[in-house]
Amino acid sequence: MQRNFVTNNEPILSAKQVSKTYGGHCVLDKVSFELHSGEVLCVVGENGAGKSTLIKILSGAIRPDSGIIGVHGGTYSALNPRESMQLGIATIYQEVELIDSLSVSDNIFLGNETLGRFPLVIDADSQNKKARQILDMLHIDIDEKMLVEDLSAAQKQNLQIVKAFHQDARVLIMDEPTSSLGVEETRSLMQLVHDLRGRGLGIIYISHYLEEIFEIGDTILILKDGEQVGLYPRADIDVNFVIHNMVGRDASMFFVRERVPIGADQIQVENISWKDAVKDVSFNVRAGEVFGIGGLVGSGRSELAASIFGMVRKDAGTIRISGQELSINNPKDAIKNKICFITEDRKKYALFDSMDVQENIVIIHTEFGKSHLLKQKKENSLAKSMIDKLHIAVDNTEESVISLSGGNQQKAVLGRWLLNDATLFIFDEPTKGVDIGAKEEIYKLIIELARKGKSIIMISSDMPELLSMSDRIGIMREGRLIKILDNQRITEEDLIHDFIGI
């Protein structure tokens, strides 16, 4: 069952001057490249550089505003998902797209089952045999009869690639494929990419891990703030060149924060562990301090925050406020102990989309008057005070929270926690998906909390944000807090070197 593609000088996939704008903001600006059979094109850039938008355009998930996509000699102004698949473009996203209740073999042949003598009856033995042949050909050691739900993250990742290969993909787009894999699993995936390249597939590989980029890439496309910095043969550049061109930006992009007096240690986090995601993490946060936490996707940052807040039950470790050990088994315990968590995914974990703005703000504030009338008056007063304080753009308090902009939704969530008068505020990507004006308002609010002696943990992938807002920065890598830096004379390049361990 040998399958190799004939190679020539014609690109199998190309983009010419492809652009995309959302709400007047250009997220992808005139990006161009060519991908040839047997080539690995690596795409690098910070969060927000335009990588995800480019993937979605090539896979047909969104339409570009302008530009041309070329596939196998044909040209298209846009693709839809069906066209993209029919043209042999397969996208492997970070989120696994398999059916857990089916076997490995069933997932490989889903929609193209091997039928027996009778109509609509699958010949399981024959199908399993074919699955075994494909797995062996790609040197993947997975039992074809296993249920997908019993596979490891690495095995599921490999299975998605096998499925794409079986469906005659000519182009494989891989989005952060090793973000949840260990060292050995990553090494195996790298070998699989080498094998697929040798069989003539064109591969677009997106990763924050620059060592992977330089191991497997033939060509490197650098994006920054939606713009194409350049397209370079791997042999012509080095890691420092990539880092410099990924992060280089005007100093005006940094928010200049006011520094406030910092007090004594107020929060003690000691030896926190949870599964393989968080490993023996310890640090202190002082009163009035913004303690930044940085690291790559999958480094354990968000899992650490979830462990502190009780969203997951930690396996080990203690949390103290002003020396007093806390018992936190769930978010209710955390709230009772004056800890709040503004999550990265506010729509999933923080907003109640069936409720109005007022209800979202006051939902955890339980000390109201006993009568319904007094309670309603108290709620109205509290909600209005937060709306005015945070400048939430809303016509009335009964407006649906999901009708607000991203920045105003985030401010509504912040208003809820301000009513709780917490001691520790944990922000996970506090300005994700908000505009520049709302960002500055959120930054000023964080500084106001620090001025009042609150302790702040701020997790961010936005390096200018991390550098401009933090008093100290903890670096997470592979579940461990590897170092804590005083935020003096640290550059973005320093952070990236620490994030990736180079």
Q: Are residues 65 and 173 in the same domain?
A: yes
Cα separation, 183 vs 353, whole angstroms: 40
Q: Are residues 184 and 290 in the same domain?
A: no
Q: pLDDT grade, residue 333 (50/70/90)?
A: very high
Cα separation, 460 vs 257, whole angstroms: 16
pTM, to two decimals: 0.59
**Mean pLDDT computed over 296-322:** 91
Tens digit of each residue's pLDDT (9 = 90 or more) over 417-473: 787 778 999 999 888 766 556 677 788 889 989 999 999 999 998 888 899 899 999
pLDDT at site 375:
65
Domain presence at residue 208: yes
The domain boundary, picked from 222, 250, 278, lies at 250
* Number of domains present in the structure of the chain: 3
pLDDT at site 430:
85
From the list 394, 452, 465, 396, the residue with the least C-alpha distance to 425 is 452
Q: Are residues 81 and 175 in the same domain?
A: yes
Q: Residue 370 pLDDT more than 60?
A: no
Lowest mean pLDDT: which of 141-155, 245-259, 270-284? 245-259
494 in helix, strand or coil? helix
**Mean pLDDT computed over 377-397:** 77
**Mean pLDDT computed over 30-44:** 95
Instruction: Yes or no: say if 44 and 242 are a contact pair by the CB < 8 Å rule.
Output: yes
CA-CA-CA-CA dihedral for 184, 136, 171, 105, to nearest 10: -100
What are the E-state strand segments in 45-192? 66-71, 74-76, 89-92, 171-175
Percent of the chain with pLDDT over 90: 37
Q: Are residues 63 and 195 in the same domain?
A: yes
Q: pLDDT grade, residue 160 (50/70/90)?
A: confident
Q: Are residues 192 and 314 in the same domain?
A: no
Cα separation, 218 vs 198, whole angstroms: 13
Q: Are residues 213 and 305 in the same domain?
A: no
Tens digit of each residue's pLDDT (9 = 90 or more) over 206-224: 987 788 899 999 999 999 8
Q: Residue 371 pLDDT more than 60?
A: no
From the list 101, 187, 198, the residue with the least C-alpha distance to 151 is 101
CATH code for the domain in which residue 466 is found: 3.40.50.300
Task: Write the burial class of residue 251 (CB in 10 Å: 0-12 exposed, 13-18 middle, 19+ buried).
Answer: exposed
Domain presence at residue 38: yes
Cα separation, 498 vs 492, whole angstroms: 10
**Mean pLDDT computed over 149-166:** 82
Q: Residue 99 pLDDT more than 90?
A: no
pLDDT at site 71:
93
Instruction: Yes or no: say if 106 and 123 are a contact pair by the CB < 8 Å rule.
Output: no
Domain presence at residue 447: no
**Structure token pair of residue 163:** 């499925």
The set of residues, in sequence order, having a beta carbon less than 8 Å from that of 236 and lying 6+ positions away, is none
Cα separation, 440 vs 211, whole angstroms: 35
Q: Are residues 158 and 110 in the same domain?
A: yes
pLDDT at site 116:
62
**Distance (Å) of CA 351 to CA 66, 364, 376:** 35, 12, 21
Q: Are residues 414 and 428 in the same domain?
A: no
Cα separation, 274 vs 178, whole angstroms: 20
Phi and psi at 482, nearest 5°, equal -85, -25
Range of the domain at 392: 345-421
The domain boundary, picked from 250, 283, 304, lies at 250
Q: Are residues 190 and 317 in the same domain?
A: no
